[in-house]
Chain A
Amino acid sequence: MRKLAVVVALAGLAALAALVLPASAAAHPLGNFTINRFSRLETSGPRLYVLYVLDMAEIPTFQAGRIDPQAYARRIARNAELNVDGRRARLIPVAEALAHPRGAGGLHTTRLEVVLRGPVLKGQSSVIYHDNNYRGRIGWKEIVVGAKAHSISDELRAYPKDLLQSPLDVTSVVTQLAPSPGPATQPALTRGRALQAPDRVADSGFARLIGRRHLSALVIVASLAAALFWGAAHALSPGHGKTIVTAYLVGSRGTPLHAALLGLIVTATHTIGVFALGLVTLSLSQFVVPDHLYPWLNLVSGLLVVGVGAAVLWSRIRRRLAHTRAHARDHHHHHADLGWRSLVGVGVSGGLLPCPSALVVLLAAISLHRVAFGLLLIVAFSAGLALSITGVGLLAVLAKRAFGRVGFDGRIIGLLPAVSALVILVAGVAMTARAVPKLG
């Protein structure tokens, strides 16, 4: 079972990656007019080397026109200021590699790597290094010391997307360096396809799907699949009435058909709910704060569940009484006792609360004038939601059957309907109790 959980999680992540990656447009992750600079100071044998990486986004690449890597390397060497033991040391470009990875809008970006050869160190030396290239231009500026030292941006290949990290702005370093054992071999440059393919994914997500300019059939299908998956994943986070659905289906001798019907009802309710809330948000935003509606919706769905739970419990009790009286005549003969009304009630309570993320997607679609596409995405999202809930319900139904076949203990099975009704009732009361204090 534990293995299963890991497998499921991995599969989920893989699916997510598969869905997200083709959708994200390639663009420079730090904005399309940045010039990013990286230097790595290292000793190889007695000699000091600087590996310099220049990463230019779309606009500076265009401004640069044709790039002569040697000329660039010379200029970079001139503006990289190295002082060893208080004396200015020369840096000489000895190797360079240039590539133009694809960026946004069919434009190109630039990645230039240069190896700068510094002086031979005689023992422990104090080193001061200033990078004066492209001063005043926006971009990621990073310097690391040591051949094995970690680079936060992986030498300008993958910029951190951490929200709590400002773009790095390091243009000088003061350090001590000593010759390392072994012969002097100059640092290696990136070659071939690796040079062509740094991380060009600025960020990825749903908006990309909505914001696409040309909606090809493939894009639409992929987007819908992504929405479906997101919905399914979302339903598995806490809430969303999974407990109630499970308890209901288990207790009421539900069949797979019932589980599917429940899913359908959840999808419909959720879709309608999101549309309605979207309308309210757009047209009545002066008068109603959608967030103020949430506690009320919570209350309604809580009360609904209480109602269903109470009704089911009542019918069980009545049946039980009748059953005991009729025991002599009729030996163990249960009927499927799924009332349509309670089925709808459970489904509606599961889908009544519109997921805020779905709402956000709708609003984005509207602001992009892609209402129809947005609606489609939300239907898919709701369907995913329902799929998960149905899946959980189905699991419960099948599990119960399996237990039943093993023939555990007749008494436990016999008690199940009443217990499940109680679970529903308690869950409903809990939901209601949680909703009430937030109404104020």
Chain B
Amino acid sequence: MRIRLVLAFAVAATLAAGLLLGGLFRDSRGAVPAPPPEAAAGALENELGTADTASLVRTLQTTLRRNPRDVHSYDLLGLAYQQRARETGDPTYYTKSEGVLRRALVLAPNDLLATSGLGSLALSRHRFREALVLGRRAVALSPTTARSYGVVGDALVELGRYREAFAAFDRLAGLRPGLAAYARVSYGRELRGNVAGAVAAMRLAVDAAVDEPEPLAWTHVQLGKLYWSHGRLAPATRQYRAALAAYPGYVYALDALAQVEAARGRYPQAIRLERRAVNTIPLPQFVTTLGDLEHVTGHERLARRQYALIGVIQRLLVANGVKTDLETALFDVDHGIRLERTLALARLARRERPSIDGDDVLAWALARTGHCGEALRFSERALRLGTRDAPKDFHRGMIERCLGHDVQARLWLRRALGLNPHFSLLWAPLARRYAS
């Protein structure tokens, strides 16, 4: 009878533990970041190398219903759920992925795939410190598994620890050259200002991604963005269209294409594309672009509606306990919303994410609130890798201008426009005015 009592309690305890673990890293933020090709790396894990994730998910679900202690199937299902989240933009799959991977860890606490899978999940949710811990654990569990180095490197990049990050990427490329490695090598080169090298590596990634629709679309979009960031509209467009051909309705391609159309002055087309993206997944960056497009075409009321939606998304992020995203801070600074409060926000965001992007947003927020001396310090940090990124150069130009260094200001602004004359719907016109 004591056994019975203990059993009854064990049920209650299991329930409690389920609630405990199930809710732990949940995050139903509206923003799903442009994802790292982590699930794609999983896709190469041959079992996932099927074109149809949805049917793979169904197969694994059936397997697990029949055999609920099959750790490997839990691992694969967890990764497949993440891939589904990327494909559909539905964050429910993140919650499910986490639950499934945690169950795998309960069954096998040292399971490698579940550990690194939770790491890539943390990355998708912008929880970089957590991702680093999980990635490092995965590396310690098996130092020769390539996948884990991707998780570690991605987290380190976002935390601004570039030397270690690039070392992790090198290790990844050495262990298993492939889509995951090429895409990261490309990103590393882009950060260091080696654009030609970045393009070459991303081309390799595209070649490695054939047969997998979503990863292929993702690499096409990345390659297109590399061209775009240097003002090469025609090749960028080709890549975005290729992405849409590989994965019809791919929102990241729609958004990117909208920006190209806007750069060409074809605003109605741009608005139509961006609206399609927003209606599928209202990511903050999509909504921002849509609002800006409506703003520059004189539809002030519609634009205000989009900007208000950004406010709603922010409220949801806060309600979900998410630390304010860098993108949100950048939006507020760009649109002159409650600047003093936003400066505090930017400081917080940079503390969470001390990457060059964090430095850049903080520098820009400081400049817009008149703290130009301090802004210069962070702008220098933001450009310390030699990254060739038009918005960062533009911010630097505005800071120099604010400090009265007119010659340097013009140089930086011209550099920004030389890289990409269409770098921003809102700011490119101003850059042109001040540069001459």
Contacts and interface: CB of A to CB of B under 8 A. Distances in A.
> Taking chain B's interface residues, is the majority helix, strand, or loop, or is none over half, making it mixed?
helix
Given A5-B4, A58-B312, A233 B16 contact: yes
Contact of A204 (B9, B19, B93, B313): B19
Contacts of B320: 25, 27, 104-105, 211
Interface in B47-67: 54, 57-58, 61, 64-65
Given A136-B249, A203-B22, A5 B136 contact: no
Interface stretch (A163-171, A185-193, A266-274): A163-171
A212 B23 CA distance: 13
Interface string A281-309: 11001111111101000000000000000
Nearest to B95: A203
A329 interface: no
Contact of A12 (B12, B65, B141): B12
Interface string B133-150: 100110111000000000
A9 interface: yes
Q: Which of A6, A30, A164, A288 has the most CB of B within 10 A?
A: A164
Interface string A1-29: 11011101100110010001000110110
B240 to A, nearest CB: 19
A350 to B, nearest CB: 16
Interface residues of B, number: 70
Given A9-B9, A59-B282, A164 B61 contact: yes
A289 B64 CA distance: 29
A136 B89 CA distance: 11
A404 interface: no
Contacts of A234: 13, 16-17
Q: Which of B15, B24, B61, B93 has the most CB of A within 10 A?
A: B24
B24 A294 contact: no
Contact of B5 (A5, A206, A294): A5
B395 interface: no
A266 B57 CA distance: 44
A368 B61 CA distance: 33
A278 B54 CA distance: 38
A203 B26 contact: yes
B11 A33 contact: no
B316 A32 contact: yes
B95 A138 contact: no
B309 interface: yes
A136 B279 contact: yes
B130 A363 contact: yes
B136 A285 contact: yes
Interface stretch (B96-104, B257-265, B360-368, B400-408): B96-104
Contacts of B26: 202-203, 205, 207
Contact of B103 (A8, A62, A163, A233): A163
Which 4 pairs of residues, A with B, have the shortest CB-CB distance? A205-B23, A105-B319, A211-B321, A9-B8
Given A1-B5, A104-B320, 8 more contacts: A5-B7, A25-B319, A58-B312, A138-B89, A205-B23, A233-B12, A236-B13, A286-B136
Interface of B: 1, 4-17, 19-26, 28, 30, 54, 57-58, 61, 64-65, 77, 84, 88-93, 95-96, 99-100, 103, 109-110, 127, 129-130, 133, 136-137, 139-141, 249, 279-282, 308-309, 312-313, 315-316, 318-321
14 contacts: A8-B8, A16-B15, A25-B319, A28-B28, A104-B28, A104-B316, A107-B316, A138-B280, A164-B65, A166-B96, A205-B21, A206-B20, A281-B133, A285-B133
